[in-house]
Amino acid sequence: MSSPIVKLVAQRVALGILLLLAVSVLIFAGTQILPGDVAQAILGQSATPESLANLREQLGLNDPAYIRYFRWLGGVLTGDLGTAMSSGQDIATSIKGRLWNTLFLAFWAAIVAIPLAITLGLIAVRYRNGWVDKLISGLALASTSFPEFFIGYLLVFYFAVQHQWFPAISTVYDGMPFGERMQAIALPAAALTLVVLAHMMRMTRAAILNVMQSAYVETAELKGLSAFAVIRKHAFPNAIAPIINVVMLNLAYLIVGVVVVEVIFVYPGMGQYLVDHVTKRDVPVVQAVGLIFAAVYIGLNIIADIAAIVANPRLRHPK
């Protein structure tokens, strides 16, 4: 079985790298059309013509764009993301801590959200069209329909301001005790869970229902298996590919799409870092973060693809 899988995986990875390269061009081009330049942005309201000219010269902003692109790409390939223009700090070092924070939050949100979503999906299928199904779907839909900031503020209002069970702000720092850190991220993780739950739950439900209409499920039912056994043994394994897909999509969202939640809870992750630097026109940072986000998306999608191939033998032998 190995050779077709290895070939397919290699294909996917190569495609991913190509895609990433294309994204890097887009990111670079995108940052070029932002109005204003970084020198102006660093000095802001206090810019004087002399200090502007000095800074532009110092930052090498006078070179043509393609030269700056290749200089940047070369750096990235050798692991050097450059230094932030606005603060002079090494980007790789600053991002490391931030990325770790974001991954930490995403990890705990995922740990709660994924099993919960899949279980709820399974339960919904088992009692499909009954009141349990409707209740689960309704609540999940409601939590998704509210904007993230609204859910965030509701959580803060109830759990932080009214009852003071959890802190309203989630500032975490190096060397923070694990227990305190968990308490600090409780509310943002809950907000994120609520935001991604419905999507995964409903996809699980839909995917399994789709399979439930197959002949083999009917056979299983006719054999007299219990409803749960039918779902667990026959329907779920066959629905795993689309479920993994949606789980990966939501994982990616937990990492790259949490800007609003991070801002509300003052969580020092990648989202806040990106926002700060976009307003400063700090091009190297924006590019680096953009590239990392793209890599996360592409990487998780490749994993989803590969998992689907492994789970479904039919995909391994395309006709």
Q: Which stretches of the chain bind other proteins, using CB under 8 A?
A: 34-36, 40-51, 54-55, 84, 86-88, 94, 153, 156-157, 160-161, 164, 167-169, 171, 173, 263-266, 268, 272-273, 276-282
DSSP helix/strand/coil, 165: coil
For residue 21, count other CB atoms closer than 10 A to its CB.
Answer: 11
Cβ at position 147, least distance to other proteins in Å: 13
Nearer to other proteins by Cβ, of 236 and 293: the residue is 293
| Distance in angstroms (rounded) separating the CA atoms of residues 144 and 198 | 6
Cβ at position 311, least distance to other proteins in Å: 41
Hey, what are 244's tokens? 């993994």
For residue 35, count other CB atoms closer than 10 A to its CB.
Answer: 7
Cβ at position 185, least distance to other proteins in Å: 14
With contact defined as beta carbons under 8 Å apart, do 128 and 210 qualify? no
State the DSSP code for 1.
Answer: -
Dihedral sign, CA of 205, 210, 212, 217?
negative
Nearer to other proteins by Cβ, of 157 and 216: the residue is 157
CA distances from 310 to 307, 315, 317 (A): 5, 8, 11
Dihedral sign, CA of 175, 161, 99, 91?
negative
Cβ at position 32, least distance to other proteins in Å: 15
Nearer to other proteins by Cβ, of 241 and 291: the residue is 291
Cβ at position 88, least distance to other proteins in Å: 7
Cβ at position 41, least distance to other proteins in Å: 6
Cβ at position 102, least distance to other proteins in Å: 13
Nearer to other proteins by Cβ, of 155 and 251: the residue is 155
CA distances from 319 to 5, 11, 123, 220, 256 (A): 15, 17, 36, 28, 37
Nearer to other proteins by Cβ, of 50 and 145: the residue is 50
With contact defined as beta carbons under 8 Å apart, do 85 and 283 qualify? yes
What residues does 83 pair with on adjacent strands? Answer: 90
Nearer to other proteins by Cβ, of 199 and 277: the residue is 277
